[in-house]
Structure 1
Amino acid sequence: MRDIKIIWDFRGPAALKTAEHHAIHLKEYAANCAIEYTTIDIQTFNEFYTIAFIVVKEKDMLSVRDALKPHRAEVYIKKRRD
């Protein structure tokens, strides 16, 4: 079963703080709804663009999508460390 990265995009000068706060709520949601996840984190691309994301199994993707209305999703491929 594939892992799916569910993503929320935040833009503007408050993007980092907003994404950090959103990640806290993602952790609360996962705990309250017993959603198994690989990771919940943020990723900053520049000072005006940060994403918050949760990585879930494909079987859980639809329920998370319908409940939390993400901006987008993609298949998650964990990068190898060489």
Structure 2
Amino acid sequence: MALIITDECINCDVCEPECPNSAISQGDEIYVIDPNLCTECVGHYDEPQCQQVCPVDCIPLDPEHQETKEELHKKYLIISA
């Protein structure tokens, strides 16, 4: 699965620089995650870094973008090529 930022986001700016795939960007009102770039940090880290630094815990799994670890790893290989 990709991750999603909920409307509980406080725009604290800590998640964006943590993303190794540049999947996080400022949206109209809150930060957003591009599901085409999000690998949940598979290939880079053991855990999603944005979730680790988020002070309000507003970055859950996105149920609309379900992917296995294998699919996330394939996406990582394509993105990092």
Give the TM-score band, short-chain normalised.
0.3 to 0.5
Q: Which has the higher contact order (CA 8 A, sep 6+)?
A: 1
Q: TM-score, normalised by structure 1?
A: 0.38
- Name the structure where helix makes up a greater proportion of residues: 1
- Name the structure where strand makes up a greater proportion of residues: 1
